[in-house]
Amino acid sequence: MSRGVKDGNGHLAPRALDVAALAGVSTATVSRAFNAPEKVAPEIRKKVLQAAAELGWMPHPAGAALASRRTWLAGVLIPTLDNDVFASQVGALQTRLSADGVTVLIGCSNYDADQAVNQVRTMLARGVEALAIVGESHRPGLFETITARGVPYVVTYSHRPGSPHPCVGFDNAAAFRRIARHLLELGHRDFALIHQPSIDNDRVVARLEGLRETLAEEGLALRPQHVREGPSSIVFGRQSLREIMEASGPRPTAVICGNDALAIGALIEARALGLRVPDELSITGFDDAAMAEQTDPPLTTMRVDNAEIGKQAADYLLACLSGKKPARPAPLESRLIPRTSTGPAPRL
Amino acid sequence: MSRGVKDGNGHLAPRALDVAALAGVSTATVSRAFNAPEKVAPEIRKKVLQAAAELGWMPHPAGAALASRRTWLAGVLIPTLDNDVFASQVGALQTRLSADGVTVLIGCSNYDADQAVNQVRTMLARGVEALAIVGESHRPGLFETITARGVPYVVTYSHRPGSPHPCVGFDNAAAFRRIARHLLELGHRDFALIHQPSIDNDRVVARLEGLRETLAEEGLALRPQHVREGPSSIVFGRQSLREIMEASGPRPTAVICGNDALAIGALIEARALGLRVPDELSITGFDDAAMAEQTDPPLTTMRVDNAEIGKQAADYLLACLSGKKPARPAPLESRLIPRTSTGPAPRL
DNA sequence: AACTGATATGTATGCGCTTACATCAAGCAA
DNA sequence: TTGCTTGATGTAAGCGCATACATATCAGTT
């Protein structure tokens, strides 16, 4: 050990040179023993590994990154960790990437477009070599910043036909079309909608469009007083259902909710209002959360495999990193899970 | 630009030297303009910043880390992101740390002690300068590895009196003592317990001890057939309550659950069994999840401020990083939220 | 005018590692 | 034997930056 710098314990941090000395080889061989084992004679490699273990040495990532121009870092931009949907995407992404030695940096935008840009900048400054970004409605500069750096990226959670970006996700519009079809087939003609904030959120916007489109095909539309937009909480679901049911004019026979929390709120409030579900009112959710099949009645909802999104996004980015030009991923399926919170529209 | 290395777009990545040339200063001044603005004349600084913006330059983290011996990286080890409790801790930790320029690396152990050690090793190899670790029951070597590197750390989520580690969290044993007291005061004498896996989980173990201890003070104990350990899911809660109620011998009048999911399951099953809550059976949860106040009846549970844990852990680590020897954090409060899933024990 | 001290900037070294290239040894064909 | 090839190892040059130290500048003193 040749330097004076000590770590917090008064020990000297070993370097490749120390390992090399102990093993009786050069630093080049030490490096190769770790990064290109096939180029090193087995017995030499063993000596190096043993010396490293003895000194507790690991390659210093900064030195390695500098010399090799590889950071083995990837970033993921999500709205928040406080939502299972994104948490499981991140979890799966990380599991897959770390299997290939890539470490994941997480950036949360808190649903704020400016924070999103900042987070991406920060991750880029950290040297991430690939990025997964939830959604595609971001500040204009965001994707330019990324491509200007030549960093491969993938948009997750949504898979809009015609998007200029590589995406891993499902077609949000199609998912809501599916829900609408389900209810139309049950004879519903009067719909209400309770959904999460749509600003800067292309997933939500796409869903609304899918819904409007499908209703329009039947000459139907949502009455403004039957649409509520707000935080995706049980409480907002309850409050919204009450307001919708108290509004003047004809009552809806089906309430479509942007996620299961809102739907559970609606379900609870329906009970409080003495409305029988599904006899008098049908309610749908989205996500198929664990709670959805435990409600009374169990909730009809759409199931999306978020872990699969994370995994496929990771696969795509890994392929990019290994120099391939992978094909654009195919859209994932979202699946209607019909339970008993939906039923035939009540006879007039 | 002097080198031949190109990024993925065919552009050359600018370096401090390029910025220096454009601004007509030395690289030292460029560095100072970013890292020690007060040492640079305002108009020169402005020129440098402008040149950097023009070239899209940001300090390369590897070079910076190598030269300054600072990585500005911290790690957090949690069991899983799939649990709100940990997700919000991480979220708050990250928010606080990133405000001070520290990036967070996340390691998930998936409740597996070996993975925990590996994740910590990986993060250490990445150069993290501080670590937050959920819980203290880990493989023997884990904390030694950390201290051998001289890396400051903090244990989160639990705050056991007498722990050798600095902890940010609440006293799990005390929290369950509180629950037990609450039920004892209501006159309950026959208890059941449904809890999550206790292996490698000091938080759960501490809670069980707190409970056993408090019951023992009254000469009471849990009958083995009234204790169920398994996954913390609604389904397991349901199934467990059924088994407990079907067991031979006297029935419990109160069921204590390890978290709200289990309690909600128990609540649902109680209804299915035709048991009136709280008249015939009291049920308690833990965590005070959003759903807890929406159940029928609303769930009596313990509230813990997980975001506060994350924030305080971050504060502690930040203090360590700035060279202080901060005092050991005080335990946080967990608070009983009495709702109507608990009531007086039924008369015999 | 000469000197002092404070402040701003430049010079040059090295952080720990990877890797192109040089070197060397050994095996084999001629 | 010689020359050539192949594979294993060493040599040494950076990677991009921060920073100790040297130098320059200038205001204020005497």
Task: Give per-residue pLDDT as tens, A5-47.
Answer: 344 444 457 899 999 999 999 999 999 999 999 999 999 999 9
Q: Which CATH class is domain A72-169+306-330?
A: alpha beta
Region B231-260: what's the mean pLDDT?
Answer: 97
Among chain B residues, CA nearest to A145: B56
The H or E element that residue A44 is part of is helix A42-55
d(CA A181, CA B288): 37
What band does A132 get if pLDDT is binned at 50, 70 and 90? very high
Asked if the model's pLDDT at residue B310 lies above 60, the reply is yes
The H or E element that residue A48 is part of is helix A42-55
Q: B104 to chain A: which residues are within 8 Å by CB? A: 105-106
What's residue A148's pLDDT? 85
Asked if the model's pLDDT at residue B11 lies above 80, the reply is no
What's residue A7's pLDDT? 43
Region A288-304: what's the mean pLDDT?
Answer: 95
d(CA A117, CA A124): 10
Q: A238 to chain B: which residues are within 8 Å by CB? A: 294
What's residue B176's pLDDT? 98
Region B242-249: what's the mean pLDDT?
Answer: 96
Residues within 7 Å (Cβ) of strand D: A 24-29, 32, 39-41, 44, 63, 66-67, 69; B 3, 5, 13, 15-17, 27-28, 30-32, 34-36, 57-60, 62-64, 66-68, 70
What band does B2 get if pLDDT is binned at 50, 70 and 90? very low
What's residue A340's pLDDT? 97
Answer whether B11 sits within 8 Å of A150, measured CB to CB: yes
Asked if the model's pLDDT at residue A4 lies above 60, the reply is no
d(CA A128, CA A102): 10
Nearest by CB: B108 against A71, A94, A238: A94
What's residue B19's pLDDT? 93
Strand D footprint nucleotides (protein C-beta < 7 Å): 8-20
pLDDT tens digit string along B274-293?
999 999 999 999 999 999 99
Q: Which of B141, B134, B135, B78 is nearest to B105 (CA)?
A: B78
3-state secondary structure of B131: strand
Q: Suggest the residue from B70, B82, B324 to mutate for an interface test with chain A (most A CBs closer than 10 A).
A: B82
Asked if the model's pLDDT at residue B35 lies above 60, the reply is yes
Q: Between B27-35 and B42-55, two packed helices, what is the crossing angle to 10 degrees?
A: 100
Q: CATH number for the A172-305 domain, one of 3.30.930.10, 3.50.50.60, 3.40.50.720, 3.40.50.2300?
A: 3.40.50.2300
Region A286-311: what's the mean pLDDT?
Answer: 96
What band does B341 get if pLDDT is binned at 50, 70 and 90? very high
d(CA B75, CA B123): 6
Residue A72 approaches strand C within 7 Å at CB: no
Q: B65 to chain A: which residues are within 8 Å by CB? A: 61-62, 65
Across A292-301, B3-12, B88-97, least confident range: B3-12
Write out the two tokens for A71. 């950071």
Residue A27 approaches strand C within 7 Å at CB: yes
B28 CA vs C6 C1’ separation (Å): 20
> B329 vs chain A: nearest CA distance in angstroms?
21
Residue A265 approaches strand C within 7 Å at CB: no
What's residue A10's pLDDT? 41
CATH 1.10.260.40 at A16-67, yes or no: yes
A114 CA vs D20 C1’ separation (Å): 39
Rg (CA), chain B: 26
d(CA B307, CA B327): 20
The residues that bridge with B154 in the sheet, in sequence order, are: B132
The H or E element that residue A271 is part of is helix A260-272
Q: Which of B253, B249, B338, B344 is nearest to B301 (CA)?
A: B338
3-state secondary structure of A226: helix
Nearest by CB: A56 against B58, B103, B148: B148
Q: Which CATH architecture has domain B172-302?
A: 3-Layer(aba) Sandwich (3.40)
What percentage of chain B reaches a pLDDT higher than 70? 96
Same topology between domain B16-67 and domain B71-171+306-334: no
Give the ranges where chain B is alpha helix by DSSP (H): 16-23, 27-35, 42-55, 61-68, 84-99, 113-125, 141-148, 172-185, 202-217, 234-246, 260-272, 306-321
Answer whether B7 sits within 8 Å of A149, measured CB to CB: yes
Q: B264 to chain A: which residues are within 8 Å by CB? A: 291, 294
What's residue B6's pLDDT? 40
Whether the CB-CB separation of B178 and B185 falls below 8 Å is answered with: no
Whether the CB-CB separation of B299 and B270 falls below 8 Å is answered with: no
What band does A347 get if pLDDT is binned at 50, 70 and 90? confident
Cα dihedral sign for B234, B270, A338, A285? negative
Asked if the model's pLDDT at residue A63 lies above 90, the reply is yes
d(CA B316, CA B198): 28
The residues, ordered by sequence, that sit 6+ positions from B309 with a Cβ below 8 Å of its Cβ are B89, B92, B156, B157, B168, B169, B332
Mean pLDDT taken over chain B: 93
> Topology of domain B71-171+306-334, per CATH?
Rossmann fold (3.40.50)
Domain definitions of chain A by residue range = 16-67, 72-169+306-330, 172-305
Among chain A residues, CA nearest to B147: A9
Phi, then psi, of A218 in degrees rounded to 5: -100, 10
Rg (CA), chain A: 26
pLDDT tens digit string along B54-93?
998 999 999 999 999 999 999 999 999 889 899 999 999 9
Asked if the model's pLDDT at residue B322 lies above 70, the reply is yes
Asked if the model's pLDDT at residue A57 lies above 60, the reply is yes
Q: What is the DSSP letter of A75?
A: E
Asked if the model's pLDDT at residue B188 lies above 90, the reply is yes
Q: Which of A126, A112, A210 is nearest to A161 (CA)?
A: A210
Among chain B residues, CA nearest to A129: B8
d(CA B260, CA B232): 9
